[in-house]
Amino acid sequence: MFNPTEHPHRRYNPLTGEYVLVSPHRMKRPWQGQVEKTVSAQRPTYDPTCYLCPGNERAGGVRNPAYDHTFVFDNDFSALLPATPTVVTAVHPLLQTESVQGTCRVMCFSPRHDLTLPEMPLPDVRRVVDEWAAQTAELGQIYRWVQVFENKGAVMGCSNPHPHGQIWALSQLPNEPRKEDAQQRRYWEDNGRALLLDYAAVEQEAGERVVADNEHWLAVVPYWAVWPFELLLLPRRPVLRLPDLAAGERDALAGILKNVLTKYDNLFETSFPYSLGWHGAPFPIADAAPDAAFAHWQLHAHIYPPLLRSATVKKFMVGFEMLGEAQRDLTAEQAAARLRTLPTIHYKQRET
Task: Find out whether 86 and 80 touch, Cβ atoms under 8 Å.
Answer: no
Which of 162, 164, 279, 346 is flagged as catalytic?
Answer: 164
**DSSP E strands: which ranges in the chain?**
9-13, 18-22, 71-74, 102-108, 145-152, 164-170, 210-213, 217-220, 231-235, 274-279, 300-304, 326-328
Report d(CA 343, CA 22) in Å as an integer.
Answer: 28
Report d(CA 46, CA 52) in Å as an integer.
Answer: 10
Report d(CA 111, CA 163) in Å as an integer.
Answer: 9
Report d(CA 265, CA 269) in Å as an integer.
Answer: 5
Task: Find out whether 308 and 336 touch, Cβ atoms under 8 Å.
Answer: no
Q: Are strands 326-328 and 18-22 parallel, antiparallel or unpaired?
A: parallel
Report d(CA 44, CA 111) in Å as an integer.
Answer: 11
Report d(CA 334, CA 341) in Å as an integer.
Answer: 11
Beta-carbon contacts of residue 278 (< 8 Å; ≥ 6 apart)? 132, 136, 147, 148, 149, 242, 299, 300, 301
Report d(CA 128, CA 242) in Å as an integer.
Answer: 12
Our answer to whether residue 162 is catalytic in this structure is: no
The DSSP-derived string for 34-79 is: --PPPPPS---S--TT-TTSTTPBPTTSPBPP--SS-EEEE-TT-S
**Which residues are known to be catalytic?**
164
